Amino acid sequence: MGIVELKNLTKSYKQNRGIMDVSFSIEEAEIFGFIGPNGAGKSTTIRTLLNFIYPTSGSATIFGKDIIQHSKEIRQNVGYLPSEVHYYDDMKVVDLLKYSARFHGNLNSTRMKDLAARLDLDINRKIEDLSFGNRKKVGIVQALLHEPKLIILDEPTSGLDPLIQNHFFELLAEERDKGATIFFSSHILSEVQKMCDRVAIIKEGKLVAVETIEHLTKNKVKNITITFEQPEQFTFTVDGILKREVNGKEVTLLYSGEIKALLQHLIDLPVQDVLIEEPTLEEIFMHYYE
């Protein structure tokens, strides 16, 4: 059984889009990405999992425990970073972190200072004096401070500059190496590609696919650029052409079929050059969304 299990999890709203029949599982010590554009249902899924909002139907477990019946126990071992961080403005960062650490019954001051230093966060400043990016850093330290078994991060890098993002990803890799499981949502595909073992793609509240990053980028889909000797009518069809663009002598394909079958078709055509490349996650993602 996975650390996180969702079974047909559904949250309906009258006006806003919720989520419908979302099912997937996350294994121990896995970095699992959850991608989709804003409004696709990522935050709704996370907030339902954390029992901040009630599911309409379906069920989910974390550490094998029901998310509604055992939410208190579950939270002891979960670190959570919301997409927007709101705190008591007149508190100093250090006091806020000590206060939140008490909920978990332990404060490791050395760890707090170490995390803050690595994210370049001054813990002696007041919350009201911090920029959006620095408030995000407070949220990251708070989420990691008690060394949770499960770390849930909702759009964690928004507001962080690229250097701090790198430090943050190093921290996550270290936590995973110590045995933590990490679940993070994002609409920035490059960071998902860099960090995750597997990824779930959500579209308009429904799960579209759960794949390994390797499977998404390596096995299925290729970018193929064919250069003809003259501007050519590219008329033939082969199973697996997901998208084609013609630009003068060049034809670009997003192709998920057998390479052999495509080359067979090209053999009798006035082809000057063929370039076969791995697509970016971005291109694959757009294919799922079209």
- The per-residue pLDDT for range 54-101, each reduced to its tens digit, is 999 999 999 999 999 999 999 999 999 999 999 999 999 999 999 999
Cβ pair 31, 176 in contact under 8 A: yes
CA dihedral 173, 174, 178, 182 (to 10 degrees): -40
Query: What is the DSSP annotation of 194-260?
Result: HH-SEEEEEETTEEEEEEEHHIIIIII-EEEEEEESS--------TTEEEEEEETTEEEEEE-S-HH
268-288 confidence digits (pLDDT tens): 888 899 999 877 767 777 777
In the predicted model, what is the mean pLDDT of residues 150-157? 96
Q: What is the DSSP letter of 10?
A: E
**219 pLDDT exceeds 70?**
no
**290 pLDDT exceeds 80?**
no
In the predicted model, what is the mean pLDDT of residues 207-222? 79
Q: Is 118 helix (H, G, I), strand (E, B) or coil?
A: helix
Mean pLDDT, the chain, rounded, equals 90
172-200 confidence digits (pLDDT tens): 999 999 999 999 998 877 788 888 999 99
pLDDT of residue 7: 97
Q: Which of 102, 139, 138 is nearest to 121 (CA)?
A: 138
Rounded Cα distance between 182 and 175, Å, is 9
Domains, the chain, ranges and CATH? Answer: 4-214 (3.40.50.300), 221-289 (3.30.70)
What Rg do the C-alpha atoms of the chain give, in angstroms?
Answer: 23
Share of the chain above pLDDT 90, in %: 63
Rounded Cα distance between 66 and 45, Å, is 15
In the predicted model, what is the mean pLDDT of residues 154-171? 93
Residue 117 vs residue 270, higher pLDDT: 117
In the predicted model, what is the mean pLDDT of residues 156-167? 93
Share of the chain above pLDDT 70, in %: 95
Q: How confident is the model at residue 233 (pLDDT cuts 50, 70, 90)?
A: low
pLDDT of residue 161: 93
In the predicted model, what is the mean pLDDT of residues 202-227? 84
Q: Which sign, positive or negative, has the C-alpha torsion 184, 185, 191, 197? A: positive
pLDDT of residue 218: 66
